[in-house]
């Protein structure tokens, strides 16, 4: 269980605090939706959460199966739809930066990524395009 306290600061900006750690996040509405775009938007955080969750669950799977897992990065792109305004697609590309895996290890890591809690929590209509650049 996690508790987060969020305050509306005005000008379409929020300020959130993770109670257990004290870490803070600022969000702004994006420029294309009346905001300043000076920080992550709430929908950017959804996209970032998906990528971070995938990496975390892959890390757990790697540790469980004694697979070396380091220097892995990803880039994600959030694509918005309108009427209603929503996230239509999140595209994630993984880069393994010199790490080499056999087919069995790749299967473990790919399954872990695709079954992370955030991926399973998103609405099925939200397209998740995942590319593993082995």
Q: Which CATH class name applies to 42-133?
A: alpha beta
pTM of the predicted protein model: 0.94
Using one digit for the tens of pLDDT, what is the confidence trace for 9-45?
999 999 999 999 999 999 999 998 999 999 999 999 9
Q: Between residues 3 and 1, which one has the greater pLDDT? A: 3
pLDDT category, 1, cuts 50, 70, 90? Answer: confident
Using one digit for the tens of pLDDT, what is the confidence trace for 69-107?
999 999 999 999 999 999 999 999 999 999 999 999 999
3-class SS at 110? helix
3-class SS at 83? coil
Residue 82 buriedness (CB in 10 A; 0-12 / 13-18 / 19+):
exposed
Indicate the angle between helix axes 42-64 and 103-114, nearest 10 degrees: 140
């Amino acid at each position: 269980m996690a508790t987060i306290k969020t305050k509306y600061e005005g000008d379409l900006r929020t300020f959130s605090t993770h109670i257990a750690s004290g870490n803070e996040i600022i969000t702004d509405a994006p420029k294309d939706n009346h905001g300043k775009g000076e920080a992550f938007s709430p929908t950017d955080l959804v996209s970032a959460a998906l990528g971070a969750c995938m990496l975390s669950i892959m890390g757990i799977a790697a540790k469980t199966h004694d697979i070396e897992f380091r220097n892995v990065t990803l880039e994600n792109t959030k694509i918005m739809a309108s009427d209603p305004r929503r996230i239509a697609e999140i595209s994630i590309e993984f880069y393994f930066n010199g790490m080499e895996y056999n087919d069995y290890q790749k299967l473990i890591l790919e399954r872990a990524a695709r079954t992370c809690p955030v991926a399973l929590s998103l609405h099925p209509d939200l397209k998740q395009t995942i590319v593993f650049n082995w």
